Amino acid sequence: MTVPFSQGVLDVGDGHQLYYAEFGTPKAPAVVVLHGGPGSSCHSGMLEWFDLTRHRVVLFDQRGCGRSTPKGSLAANTTHHLIQDLEQLRRHLDISTWLVVGGSWGALLGLLYAGTHPASVDGMVLRGVFIPCDEQLEWFFQDLKALAPLAWSNLTEGMSVNENRAVLPTLAERLLIGAPDIALDAAARWGRYEEEIMAAMLGRRVRSNGRQITELDKYRVQSHYLSQGCFVNEEELHSALRRMTVVPVFVHGTHDWICPPGNVVRLLEVLPKAEVRWVLRGTHTTEDPLIRDALRLAVKDCERT
């Protein structure tokens, strides 16, 4: 197991303490990794994407996630807070600029960060980018039943007709204001649904990365964000994209069921110079060797630019 050369907890205000750890070579170019979710956490498997003799890799858990405290807290926990946390962490670690690497929700957060603090970012590699638009959420919670009918049936078992038509609002209500047993059941359903979708894409179960987070914490944070459109509208996203000064590299699987390829196409309307590396038959997770290898190559190629 790789041991961090530095780790600690950063007080970012509002009662939140962020866990962070640094790996690799202290004087090498810095990279920050933005985990997905919202609500997931960093894990040691992320280090596999980098040559640690050539990078200083910063992993951290976002507000309410993983080893950050208070665990599962929704107070003062919005996208705006996370963007400012990221900049505060950069300054705390005395890093002038860094490469931003993010996946799924982390890719979206990276774009918003780069548009808010463009001088802090010297490159971006973004995998399986998520967009919090109605079409994306409708796809994952409603339309995906066409490709994974059994998984969707398990997710919605016992729901009323009206609840079946509004799966995300139903789950969010159960997680955020439901009784403890109801919230736990909703978290378990959501977790199984994601696992079954991943397994259907890959043709096998995804291994555990030993993330330091419970399902209830994870899906309460995720429902908090998704039910609010991740606290960012399309106009705000486009404005951030136009303020970016780096050209992002998108790594996206052609068979990504979680964040469909159309997400990248939408972004290209505002970022026509972005580099897109389509991964033929690639899915969403870095447990997919096609995606993992493409991500590693994209990171390596950033060293040459």
Claim to verify: residue 236 and residue 222 sit in the same structural domain = no
What pLDDT does 213 receive?
46
* Same domain, residue pair 258 and 122: yes
Which of 68, 104, 120, 223 is catalytic? The answer is 104
Catalytic residue among 61, 85, 217, 256: 256
Containing domain of residue 56, as a range? Answer: 6-132+231-302
Segment 55-83, tens digit of pLDDT: 999 999 999 999 999 999 999 999 999 99
The last residue of a domain, from among 193, 226, 259 = 226
CATH of the domain at 251: 3.40.50.1820
Domain count, the chain: 2
* Antiparallel, parallel or unpaired: β 16-24 and 6-13: antiparallel
User: Active-site residue 51, yes or no?
Assistant: no
Mean pLDDT of 236-246: 97
Among residues 25, 292, 41, the alpha carbon closest in space to that of 33 is found at 41
**pLDDT(152) > 60:** yes
For this structure, is 96 an active site residue? no
Q: What's residue 210's pLDDT?
A: 42
pLDDT for position 212: 38
CA dist 194 and 164 (Å) reads: 17
Within 8 A by CB and 6+ apart from 259, the residues are: 104, 128, 129, 130, 131, 136, 252, 284
**pTM for this predicted structure:** 0.96
pLDDT value of residue 211? 42
Whether residues 110 and 97 share a domain: the answer is yes
pLDDT at 303: 78
What are 178-214's pLDDT values in tens digits? 999 999 999 999 999 999 999 999 888 765 544 434 7
Whether the pLDDT of residue 221 is over 70: the answer is yes
Q: Is residue 143 part of a domain?
A: yes
Do 158 and 187 lie in a common domain? Answer: yes
Residues 201 and 57 reside in one and the same domain:
no
